[in-house]
A = this chain, B = another copy of it.
Amino acid sequence: MPLKETFLSLKKAQALLALQNRSQKDAALLAAAAAINSARAAILSANAADVERAKSGGMKEALVDRLFLDDSRIDSIIEGIKTVAGLDDPAGRVKAGWKTPNGLFIEECTVPLGVAAIIYESRPNVTADAASLAYKAGCAILLRGSSAALESNRAITAAFRQGLESGGGIAEAVELAGSGDRGDVDEILSARGLVDVVLPRGGHDLIRRVVENARVPVIETGEGNCHIFADASADIPAAVDIIENAKVQKPGACNAVETVLVHRDIISALMPALAARLAGRVELRCDAASKAAVSKAGVPAGLVLKDASEADWAEEFLDYILAVKTVDSTEQAIEHINRWGTRNSEAILTNDMKNAETFTQKVDAACVYTNASTRFTDGGVFGFGAELGISTQKFHARGPMGLDALTTTKYRISGQGHIRGRE
């Protein structure tokens, strides 16, 4: 059916879902997990078809791997659903309550945001992941995966819905955008009044396209040109450990560091140690002073050492590449970060409390770290139980998102025949 019809049916289903209490939602989710387990064969053969089509279509090996499912990956999909079932219900919380001078009693309660849509790339695990998070929050969801994963997504969605059904849940609250054609996306992005939030999940281009064309609320995620500033008082061995961790532990993550800013006073102490640690694993793109410091101490075997250009300050490498810039002050570091950063995760390494506070206050980002790796920006690490993504916008949700990002509020006001007086 056309997406408009789908959205209207999702809206109906969401109204029913909103009335389910936590135990009802959890029972349905656990049944969905069980249904995915029993549907392994169907899911694997559907996935095999997708993989086959992708390979014969000449898809890159790395992308084919993201698409690929096996028993252990299905196990983690099932675990993911169970985890969500174990989370607190974000809806139905009373955030505040008070009595007004004239005796009205007002309560501010959390309620589901409504109908969500997720537009994502080839990982089929996102299908069950997003469906369970939305369901737990009381939101109906339209799943718009990539055409490459269409068969896999169909099999997973079918099992998930059948599970919800058998668990006494509302299967109609989860729908897959079946066609897989790009027109779907434009239809979703212009569905004013039909969709309450769109969650793009994937590469830079997908997110850009969604954010720039959306006529509906979007939560932007995933960009991360992150920095670590080692100030003059930084502990050198700790700095080397943290920078290495932030760069190599998962270079493809949005919270990985891309540029290191080093105070001129420690350039000759930090750079040789850092170069030695990263040699053979990370290419360094250095400004003049930091490059000189490495050369002076002797370039370690296997180190790729290049000159940084301004383009490197803007680049999110998502790779084993690190840009290095020398700065003369905390202010200069802050200026660089606020100019080139993407407001995701930024860190200062220091033993100077004044610099730490200045940096934390002035750097405009969702997460600002002192003496820790930027890699900790994560819903799981933060204790939210599930990762809805890392919002890089300031509106509605910012930083690692738990289920709360899928809620809004409703004021419940009760009186005893109260009428308003003349103003």
Contacts and interface: CB of A to CB of B under 8 A. Distances in A.
A244 to B, nearest CB: 8
Contacts of A383: 98, 100
A323 interface: no
B417 A371 contact: yes
Contacts of A241: 417, 419
Contacts of A372: 104, 413-419
Number of copies of this chain in the oligomer?
2
Contact of A395 (B106, B196, B377, B422): B196
Interface centre among A113, A366, A381, A422 (most CB of B within 10 A): A381
Interface stretch (A29-37, A57-65, A164-172, A357-365): A357-365
Interface string A337-379: 0100000000000000000100011101111111111011100
A217 interface: yes
A329 interface: no
A368 B412 contact: yes
20 contacts: A15-B362, A98-B383, A104-B372, A104-B376, A106-B382, A197-B395, A217-B395, A249-B419, A366-B410, A367-B413, A369-B413, A370-B412, A372-B414, A373-B415, A375-B420, A376-B415, A377-B411, A395-B396, A396-B396, A399-B410
Interface of A: 15, 18-19, 98, 100, 104, 106, 113-114, 192, 196-197, 212, 215, 217, 235, 238, 241-242, 244-246, 249-250, 338, 356, 360-362, 364-373, 375-377, 381-383, 393-396, 398-400, 408-420, 422-423
